[in-house]
Amino acid sequence: MMMIPVLVLYCHTYIYIYVCVCLFVCVFRGSRYPAK
């Protein structure tokens, strides 16, 4: 019974981390390599 909430929490955590990493990479690339 306790496994489902844990899995949902893990999924949300990984999605949140993935989005943060994507945003960080986009900002880092944008600052390092301006649009040509």
- The one-digit pLDDT tens for each residue of the chain (36 residues) are 577 888 888 888 999 999 999 999 988 887 776 655
Would you state the structure tokens that stand for residue 8, as one six-digit string?
Answer: 């949902």
Give which of 22, 21, 2 is closest to 10, Cα–Cα. Answer: 2
Return d(Cα 28, Cα 34) in angstroms, integer.
10
pLDDT for 17 equals 94
Full residue range of the structural domain in which residue 16 is found: 1-36
User: What is the model's pTM?
Assistant: 0.54
Work out how many domains the chain is built from and give that number.
1
Task: Give the Å distances, CA to CA, from 13 to 19, 23, 34.
Answer: 10, 15, 31
User: Looking at the chain, which runs of residues are DSSP E strands?
Assistant: none
